[in-house]
């Protein structure tokens, strides 16, 4: 059996990590702090990343029109319908969640920490959007709660970063990881498989690079083409090859093999809104994709870290 597992999984799942740490179920409650992004407000750019939806990756976050406590309570009620007991992580998901003065961050973060059974915060952001003052505040937060900062990277290939209009370099990302780890803050990195003109080798190289860094988790996404994005316009004018489910599974397993076993896999496939999805249609069946990854890992008799 894989070391970090209590079932048939051959990779280090987030569920295993939380249950081992807290001895019970832990739920992430997606929240929307109504942040903007330097790649939208003109600081870096105005169009955002080419795949970015109108919600800024916050499709399943709370309603930004509601105050943050109402969002949390609504999310908690949803969880309680399935699981009557557990702990909670406040997940600031939509757009760039450190891109504001620290006083505003405190107004959003601190009330969540005061809620019953909340054990931590997950904060999604960009590597170019954490000020020195913010680093100091995050360091303080990390002493008081279970803090994780999620950094978007997507790929280590510089030409792809430019193509998708990320607006920052690989060096910028690396520096942010180093600054967070200097303060002992857990780091989770987002990557995307299937970006235009990237090969299987490119995608594996991204994971090989991350494996050498001091990161604690990773989120693996499949590129999804959704409505009203720059990527949709590009795809309509210059159609490109989209990964099949079989190719995606093959690449993900290869990536897992190159990751240290202690790195937690927070996500292993995408989760787009059905009504907004253009391609690939197979992403709709998320559970099937996950199950097929498990089956193929058993068939290959492989596991996370097998080629580390």
Q: Could you give phi then psi for residue 69, rounded to 5 degrees?
A: -70, -40
Identify the pLDDT of residue 221.
Answer: 97
**CA-based angle 255:259:263, to the nearest 5?**
125
pLDDT classification of 84: cutoffs 50, 70, 90: confident
Would you place residue 81 in the very low, low, confident or very high pLDDT band (cuts 50, 70, 90)?
Answer: confident
The answer to whether residue 305 is domain-embedded is: no
For residue 141, being part of any structural domain is answered with yes
Q: pTM of the prediction?
A: 0.96
Domain presence at residue 5: no
Residue pLDDT, tens place only, 89-140 = 999 999 999 999 999 999 999 999 999 999 999 999 999 999 999 999 999 9
Measure the CA–CA gap between 147 and 118, rounded to whole angstroms: 11
Q: What's the pLDDT at 82?
A: 85
**Rounded to an integer, what is the distance from CA 29 to the centroid of its chain?**
14
Whichever domain contains 105, its CATH number is 3.20.20.70
Q: Containing domain of residue 47, as a range?
A: 14-300
Q: Is residue 6 part of a domain?
A: no
Residue 96 lies in a domain: yes
**Overall number of domains in the chain:** 1
């Amino acid at each position: 059996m894989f070391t970090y597992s209590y079932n048939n999984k051959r990779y280090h799942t987030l569920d295993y990590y939380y249950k081992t740490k807290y001895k019970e179920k832990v739920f992430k409650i997606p929240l929307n702090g109504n942040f903007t992004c330097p790649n939208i407000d003109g600081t870096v750019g105005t169009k955002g990343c080419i795949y970015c939806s109108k919600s800024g990756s916050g499709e399943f976050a709370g309603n930004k029109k509601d105050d943050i406590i109402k969002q949390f309570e609504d999310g908690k009620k949803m969880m309680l319908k399935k699981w009557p007991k557990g702990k909670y992580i406040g997940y600031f998901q939509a757009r760039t969640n450190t891109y504001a003065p620290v006083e505003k961050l405190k107004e959003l973060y601190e009330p969540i920490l005061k809620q019953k059974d909340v054990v931590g915060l997950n904060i999604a952001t960009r590597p170019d959007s954490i000020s020195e003052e913010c680093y100091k505040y995050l360091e303080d937060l990390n002493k008081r709660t279970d803090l994780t900062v999620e950094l978007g990277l997507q790929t280590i290939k510089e030409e792809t970063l430019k193509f998708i209009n990320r607006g920052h370099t690989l060096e910028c990302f690396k520096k942010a990881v180093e600054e967070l780890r200097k303060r002992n803050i857990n780091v989770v990195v987002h990557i995307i498989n299937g970006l235009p003109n990237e090969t299987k080798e490119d995608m594996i190289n991204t994971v090989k690079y991350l494996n050498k860094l001091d990161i604690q988790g990773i989120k693996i996404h499949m590129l999804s083409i959704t409505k009203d994005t720059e990527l949709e316009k590009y795809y309509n004018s210059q159609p490109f090859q989209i990964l099949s489910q079989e190719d995606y599974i093959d690449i993900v397993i290869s990536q897992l093999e190159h990751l240290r076993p202690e790195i937690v896999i927070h996500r292993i496939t995408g989760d787009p809104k059905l009504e907004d999805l253009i391609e690939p249609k197979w992403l709709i069946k998320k559970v099937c994709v996950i199950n097929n990854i498990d089956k193929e890992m058993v068939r290959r008799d492989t596991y996370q870290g097998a080629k580390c």
